[in-house]
Amino acid sequence: MRNKLTIAIFLVLVFGLTAASLLKKPVEFSENENRYLAQMPEFSLDSLFSSDEDKKFTSLYETFITDQFVMRDQWIRLKTYTERATFKQDIKNVFFCSDDYLIENYPAGDFTSQTAANNISVLGQFVEQYQEKLGENGVRVMITPTASQILKDKLPPFASPYDQQAFLDSVRSAVGENVYLDAAATLSGHKNEYIFYRTDHHWTARGAFYAYQLWADSLGLEPWQEKDFNITEVSDSFLGTVYSKVNFPNKADSILCYQPESAKMNYRLTAFNGTSRDSLYVPSALEGKDKYTFYTGQNDPLISIQSSGPEGTVERGRKLLIVKDSYAHSFVPFAANHFEETFMVDLRYYNQPLSQLIEEKGITDILVLYNTENFATDTSIPKMLK
């Protein structure tokens, strides 16, 4: 009798979950993970016998089942709860930190790889090449450390994430003292302020603002002050990428909008597909999951911004190119106030020669702006030299 009951429980679980996962309609996009989930792969003899794991039918089907398993998010949450119950201080390289911070650590291998070394040497050549063209002060490089480097005080006791400073030092020596902007030092100086999101891998607009002041100073531009902006909190429910990684309840982040207060500025932002609008911010993004895209929208191959404003703001004839990752998106609303035109190029998606763009648009200033992790691992960096 007891046996029969045990068997019945097992059969109900196995057949029930099987039926449920078969009947469930596949979800296309996971808001929570911010990615497209695997779909039922197409069957063909080629894909069945393929020796490439990424094209093989059987392994694609297995990914499909796992991605589309019934109640996926709840299972993942159950796993996280279990791990936390065993007092684990980090899950999937995310540290559970004080002050409600979730901080991602990146493996040492990312910074010591061949790609990383190669990217640094490419950057060195890039800087040399355009300094010749645009002058000593024409090029600036800002590689910003991530939260694990700046917010060390918040980490669990004895946690020792990879020290990114050595990587930054080699960037500094490759590009030269004059070109390198020490964002690490600046951000560390404000480490007790809200400069990184608690649940996302980006810096906040405030973190970007301090970096902007550093950069503007180095160019001899007079940086705007905080009082020059009307700062409003446009959302207090942002749960970012790091949150998605662990899927564990956490205090949400707020998104701050910096609008020039004293000076009346006009912008014209044009995306790669030709659509344009007159604001640097995208309020509709606040209704979705990835609220960081409130700042100038999604990653786009090329975004251009035309600015105009009263005397003493925009410098006539100066055109800025930012070669960047998404960290630049909350940075550019500050930078754009100084330049007639600002271009943001994302090398991951931009496939035309950069030299041509610089030539055609008459670029006068270049800023290379990445976070350490992206700069170390991005394989599209060599496109800089095209």
Smallest distance from the beta carbon of 96 to other proteins, in angstroms? Answer: 11
Smallest distance from the beta carbon of 266 to other proteins, in angstroms? Answer: 47
Smallest distance from the beta carbon of 38 to other proteins, in angstroms? Answer: 12
And the tokens for 188? Answer: 């560390």
Smallest distance from the beta carbon of 290 to other proteins, in angstroms? Answer: 21
Pick between residue 347 and residue 376 the one whose CB is nearest to other proteins: 376
User: 352 φ, ψ to 5°?
Assistant: -90, 165
Pick between residue 91 and residue 265 the one whose CB is nearest to other proteins: 91
Binding site residues, other proteins, CB under 8 A: 2-7, 9-11, 13-15, 17-18, 21, 48-49, 51, 58, 61-62, 65-66, 69, 72, 75-76, 78-79, 82, 86-90, 92, 107-109, 156-160
Pick between residue 62 and residue 261 the one whose CB is nearest to other proteins: 62
Are 235 and 255 within 8 A, CB to CB? Answer: yes
CB atoms within 10 A of CB 196: 25
Beta-carbon contacts of residue 163 (< 8 Å; ≥ 6 apart): 149
Are 379 and 118 within 8 A, CB to CB? Answer: no
Pick between residue 157 and residue 274 the one whose CB is nearest to other proteins: 157
Smallest distance from the beta carbon of 57 to other proteins, in angstroms? Answer: 9
CA distance 354 to 368: 13
Edge to edge, the sheet with strand 266-270 lists 139-144, 365-371, 315-324, 339-345, 302-308, 266-270, 276-277
Pick between residue 245 and residue 383 the one whose CB is nearest to other proteins: 245
Pick between residue 94 and residue 305 the one whose CB is nearest to other proteins: 94
CA distance 257 to 273: 25
Smallest distance from the beta carbon of 351 to other proteins, in angstroms? Answer: 31
Q: How far does CA 297 lie from the centroid of its chain?
A: 12
CA distance 145 to 373: 8
